[in-house]
Amino acid sequence: MELFEEIRREYEFGIGTIAGVAKKLKIHRRMVREAIGSALPVPRKKTERPRWKLAGAVAFVDGILESDRKAPRKQRHTAHRIWERMRAEMPECAVCERTVRQYVQERKTALGLVVNEVFVPQSYDWGVEAQVDWLIGDN
């Protein structure tokens, strides 16, 4: 983002040519054109690759996550626990823990088992507002 700002500033108030800006900042002319066209860089495309090693265990993991839907929140499986069960119950499926963690995160989000909560800190100037978290009795 800072680079795009610098490119746009240099193009408008500095050299003024695409080739000149590219030469000065040592970048490609294509990037200068992209920065002039939009203030934000285009997000990179993420290619979906097949998970060959995980393919044999997808049904196993999905079964665990489906059974977790009925379980209390504190008794649900973590990704690490699912990976440990896979190593014990399916030794022929050699999958690293990170791959299992990523798949479990995607599936839990899709199934609605994970709720992303947002914390917004509140700050007030002195004397503007008051918050009371306790009650005074009749005494």
- Asked whether residue 117 is assigned to any structural domain, the reply reads no
Residues 71 and 97 in one domain: yes
Number of domains in the chain: 2
Residues 94 and 62 in one domain: yes
Q: Is residue 136 part of a domain?
A: no
Q: What is the mean pLDDT of residues 69-86?
A: 90
| Per-residue pLDDT, 63 | 92
Please tell me whether residues 106 and 72 are part of one structural domain. Answer: yes
Mean pLDDT value across residues 39-43: 82
Q: What is the pLDDT of residue 138?
A: 63
**Confidence tier at 115 by pLDDT (50, 70, 90):** confident
Give which of 95, 69, 71 is closest to 82, Cα–Cα. Answer: 95
pLDDT at position 132 is 67
118 in any annotated domain: no
What would the mean pLDDT of 87-91 be, rounded to a whole number? Answer: 91
Query: By 3-state DSSP, what share of the chain in percent is helix, strand and coil, each rounded to 5?
Result: 50, 0, 50
97 in the same domain as 70: yes
Average pLDDT over residues 85-107: 91
Q: Which residue has the higher pLDDT, 19 or 121?
A: 19
Name the pTM for this structure.
0.54
Task: Assess whether 61 and 92 both reside in one domain.
Answer: yes
Q: Looking at per-residue confidence, does 119 or 61 come out higher?
A: 61
Does residue 48 form part of some domain?
no
Is 107 domain-assigned? yes
Q: Residue 17 sits in which domain range?
A: 2-37
